């Protein structure tokens, strides 16, 4: 029964095949970080799994409407040990999203903790839903 519950946790890492027709110069594995995106009343929140990356190794760029996330992960291989069993490979992360115009691009906040990147993308003022009061005549 417990097995059924965490089935969604078991999806293996997915490797980047080609990003924007651009090829990579680093000879490392590169993965697409699994990402949740959800929207609240004031902001859009993007949460991405980047295990191994910290705040210094995550690089976020916003050019025009393209938000790109790059994380460079240095995998430390234990010295004087032999790897005897392996289920995952360490590597970088790369992913881009096209943002809609309704994001206030000057107020984006990014936090990395426990290998999880959390981006807060505040909505621009006009995009917020306006509530119109109906007055009784």
Q: Residues in the site for other proteins, rule: CB under 8 A?
A: 2, 5-13, 34-41, 44-45, 47, 49-54, 77-78, 80-88, 112, 114-116
Instruction: List the one residue out of 53, 56, 64 whose CA is nearest residue 97.
Output: 64
Residue with token string 């290998």: 115
Nearer Cβ to other proteins, position 49 or 110?
49
User: From CA 121, how far away is CA 133, in angstroms rounded?
Assistant: 28
Nearer Cβ to other proteins, position 25 or 80?
80
User: From CA 106, how far away is CA 125, in angstroms rounded?
Assistant: 12
The distance of closest approach from Cβ of residue 117 to other proteins in the complex, given in angstroms and rounded to an integer, is 9
The distance of closest approach from Cβ of residue 8 to other proteins in the complex, given in angstroms and rounded to an integer, is 4
Nearer Cβ to other proteins, position 50 or 108?
50
The distance of closest approach from Cβ of residue 61 to other proteins in the complex, given in angstroms and rounded to an integer, is 20
Nearer Cβ to other proteins, position 14 or 107?
14
Cβ(95)–Cβ(26) under 8 Å? no
Query: CA gyration radius for the chain?
Result: 19
The distance of closest approach from Cβ of residue 123 to other proteins in the complex, given in angstroms and rounded to an integer, is 12
User: From CA 64, how far away is CA 99, in angstroms rounded?
Assistant: 9
């Amino acid at each position: 029964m417990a097995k059924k519950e965490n089935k969604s946790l078991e999806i293996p890492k997915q490797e980047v095949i080609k990003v924007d027709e651009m090829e990579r110069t680093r000879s490392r594995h590169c993965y697409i970080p699994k990402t949740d995106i959800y929207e609240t009343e004031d902001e859009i929140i993007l949460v991405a799994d980047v295990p191994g990356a910290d705040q210094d190794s995550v690089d976020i760029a916003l050019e025009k409407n393209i938000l790109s996330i790059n994380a460079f992960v240095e995998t430390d291989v234990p010295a004087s040990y032999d790897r005897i069993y392996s289920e995952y490979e360490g590597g970088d992360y790369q992913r881009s999203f096209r943002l809609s115009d309704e994001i206030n691009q000057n107020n984006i906040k990014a936090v990395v903790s426990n290998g999880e990147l959390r981006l807060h993308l505040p909505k621009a003022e006009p995009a917020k839903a306006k509530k119109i009061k109906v007055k009784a005549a």
